[in-house]
Amino acid sequence: MAVIMFMSLPFIVGIMVDIRHQGIGCFAAWVIWGVMLILSLRLFDALKLRCQKKPEKR
């Protein structure tokens, strides 16, 4: 649940930037959100692969 709340931070900052420079904050928020989404998906895949590996038998 914390990751979902963390993903909203670029839009909160984008609102503040939009007050001063209209249009730039929203665009920047979507770009940052997209990068965060890609990074979180890559992290999820890495964790999933690590959990699926079976321990070696000795």
One digit per residue, pLDDT tens: the chain, 58 residues?
A: 676 788 889 999 999 999 998 889 999 999 999 999 999 888 888 877 777 766 666 6
Residues 26, 14: contact at Cβ < 8 Å? yes
Structure confidence at residue 54 (pLDDT): 64
- Model confidence, pTM: 0.70
Other C-beta atoms lying within 10 Å of the C-beta of residue 11:
16
Dist. CA 12–CA 18, nearest whole Å: 10
Q: Is 29 exposed, middle or buried (0-12, 13-18, 19+ CB in 10 A)?
A: buried
Per-residue tokens: 13: 């900052």
